[in-house]
Amino acid sequence: MKANEVIAGLNVLQPYYKDPGGYNIGAEHDQIYAYATDFPLTKPDVQLLCTLGWFQEDVQVADDKDFGPDDYDPEEGWSTYV
């Protein structure tokens, strides 16, 4: 993951929080977490996040596939590896 992909993903998510400048992210080792948004994302923004390498870690997907836009759950946060 490149810095510009992390920044782009956070820029996509930021307007979906009630307090866009609040404490909406966390990090652990090599992973950045963006907490669940206050408002559901649009389909194009979900697609963009997936293209940038972001995913929803707590969403279950079939063992033979990666997280994709059809797996989006508005109740879950987003994550990416750095």
Band of the pLDDT at 8, cuts 50, 70, 90? very high
Between the alpha carbon of residue 77 and those of residues 36, 43, 44, 64, the distances in Å are: 4, 16, 17, 22
Q: How far is CA 16 from the centre of its chain?
A: 11
Q: Among the residues of 1-82, which ranges form H helices?
A: 3-13, 43-51
Number of domains the chain contains: 1
The DSSP code for 55 is B
At 40 the pLDDT is 97
How much of the chain exceeds pLDDT 70, in percent? 100
CB 16 within 8 A of CB 24: no
Angle at 80 between CA 76 and CA 82, to 5 degrees: 155
The domain in which residue 61 lies consists of 3-81
Entry pTM: 0.89
